[in-house]
Chain A
Amino acid sequence: MKYITANSGTVAVGLAFGPVVPEFVTANPDLIDYVEIPFEQLRHAPETGVIQETVPVILHCASMSVAGFVPPDQRTLKAIERAAARTKTPWIGEHLAFITADPIEDDDAKPTSLTYTACPQMSEETVERVAINLASLQQHFDAPLILENSPQYFEVPGSSLSMADFVTAVVERCGVSLLLDLTHFLISMLNTKKDPLSEIERLPLEKVVEVHISGLNVQSGIAWDDHASPAPPVVFDLLERVVKRVRPKAVTLEYNWSPQFPESILIKHIDRVNEIMRC
């Protein structure tokens, strides 16, 4: 098994696990430093973990509902613990979002579980909730939890903070490090009509440990996350801004939705990230 070291001093470049990754890693063994695998994928298809015989793994997660009010069940937490221990992940990236919520009709009913994380209400109330959840969740893991900014597709009722203010408030309140998803950030800025290049400067970039890059598309009047499309140039402009203030430990390209994603673009974008990191 191969493992990544958290403090190697260089910026690691990796890919989110997807249909093109095993073949890509075999064909290009020296191009990437790690593969990021969602815990949920390891749980439901443990054979995906075999890739760690070839390349180190960083664990990602969408099950802890860090910004929610319904905690994950103990079995899920135990399974994440085991996956973290087995992979020796240097950190666990989790969404600053919710994936479970209270039932609306009957307090005794089971919580509503989603299959896709949702941007929470961005308010002081949620910031406090994140602090409580993080303190509880972190006890389960040796590796630090880091939080990934959500894409904001619409105004969540009761929100009193902008995305930049919300992320900043969470970092200040919890001291947590960030997984900065530049595409999520760009999507949020497009959907709330803010300038991404100036807003990104308002984030606590010195807390960024990992960066995510993927594509987006605009449909039905809203910008959406799209891991089947290449990131537009502005995402790399944002990365340049980030790098002026912090050297992240890892940059992950998330092109994991399509088995047809062109290898030539993967290589081009890995080269582009490396080029930015050298500047």
Chain B
Amino acid sequence: MLARRVHAIMAAGLENPELLARWQQKPDLLRAYGVDPAAFDLDAIRKFAGLSAKVKHNGLRSELPLTFHFLNVSGLEIEIFGAYALHKARAGTRYAPTTGERIVELVDFLRDWLDFGKREHSQLWDLIRHETALAQLQKLTPSSKKCRVPHIVGEIILHEMKSDPRVIGKLLREKSFDHERVPRCVTRLGYWNAGDPDEISIIDLDELGFNLLSLVDGKRSLTDFNRLLGRGISKKLNDAFAELASVGVISLGGPLPRSFN
């Protein structure tokens, strides 16, 4: 088989993994190029495209160090970046030019691609959202807002997880990592930048606090909340708002209305 032809086919497949998928489905397409389809290990070439995609994302390591460490120790790097390269080829799009945009695109891809029934995939999803939230907030200097209704002080990103990414991070720093040692537990976290990007807080939230914060938009009034969530939980709502306000993560924008007391 002519080296020149072999190189051309390998390069075409590496550059556009969509071709590899097509050739895998219809090997006869390769015969048209004068080569024997059985001689090409298309699956291995697809994985090699994954290595190449991974290397192109080395710039993300500074913001997602634990995620990359996790991918490595879990043996998921090649599989994920191989699938990502194929996804980008199918979409006909290039990798984004900036690190921030590449992170957003990778997270978007993983949201659809990961199988959350698999423990490692679920842990990866928790970890990458954890690090992405921290990275995003570290780049923001929120301006202070004056508002007459409940509003977030600074910026907050909320994530509900199936494990605690801080625990995954701690276990990853140990000599060997075992997925099974990561406890399964619903963890609701608020990543909060109160105004200083060098001081990002991570707040553990209960279900009510998490849902309340996800509804605080600087437009709904306390009365709107009471109406939305039902009068029966007024006291709980009051306590939750008061607690969030005492932490400083929200400002109520005014005194609690009488109906809350």
Contacts and interface: CB of A to CB of B under 8 A. Distances in A.
Contact of B72 (A112, A118, A222, A228): A228
Interface residues of A, number: 41
Nearest to A125: B3
Contacts of A125: 2-3
Given A116-B52, A224-B51, A101 B78 contact: no
Nearest to B58: A257
B75 A69 contact: no
Given A219-B77, A260-B61, A102 B51 contact: no
7 contacts: A100-B11, A115-B55, A120-B3, A153-B48, A155-B41, A217-B72, A217-B77
A230 interface: no
Contacts of A116: 14, 51-52, 55
Contacts of A100: 11
Contacts of B44: 153-154, 222
Interface of A: 19, 68-69, 98, 100-104, 112-116, 118, 120-121, 123, 125-126, 129, 153-158, 217-220, 222, 224-226, 228-229, 257-260
Contacts of B15: 112-114
Interface string B51-66: 1100110100110010
Given A114-B15, A222-B47, A224-B78, A156 B62 contact: no
A112 B62 contact: no
Interface stretch (B32-40, B115-123, B206-214): B32-40
Contacts of A220: 47, 50, 75, 78-79, 82
Given A112-B8, A118-B11, A222 B3 contact: no
A116 B11 CA distance: 10
Nearest to B10: A118
Contact of A69 (B4, B35, B68): B4
Contacts of A112: 8, 11-12, 15
A154 B2 contact: no
Contacts of B6: 121, 156-158
Contact of A118 (B2, B48, B61, B62): B48
A129 B3 CA distance: 10
A228 B78 contact: no
A103 B56 contact: no
B7 interface: yes
B132 to A, nearest CB: 17
Interface of B: 1-12, 14-15, 33, 35-36, 39-41, 44-45, 47-48, 50-52, 55-56, 58, 61-62, 65, 68, 72, 75-79, 82
Nearest to A102: B8
Contacts of B78: 219-220, 222, 224
Contacts of B79: 219-220
Nearest to B49: A116
Nearest to B4: A69
A224 B72 CA distance: 11
Nearest to B16: A112
Given A104-B33, A222-B78, A120 B47 contact: no
Contacts of B68: 228, 258
A112 to B, nearest CB: 4
Nearest to B5: A102
B55 A259 contact: no
Contacts of A154: 41, 44-45, 48
Contact of B61 (A114, A155, A157, A258): A258
A181 to B, nearest CB: 15
A260 B62 CA distance: 7
A112 B79 CA distance: 24
Given A104-B8, A125-B2, A226-B72, 5 more contacts: A19-B62, A103-B12, A112-B11, A114-B15, A220-B78
B73 to A, nearest CB: 9
A156 to B, nearest CB: 6
Contact of A120 (B2, B7, B82): B7
A123 B3 contact: yes
Nearest to B37: A157
A229 to B, nearest CB: 7
A19 B63 CA distance: 13
Contacts of A259: 61-62, 65
Contacts of B11: 98, 100-101, 112, 114, 118
Contacts of A19: 62
B61 A102 contact: no
Contacts of A129: 3
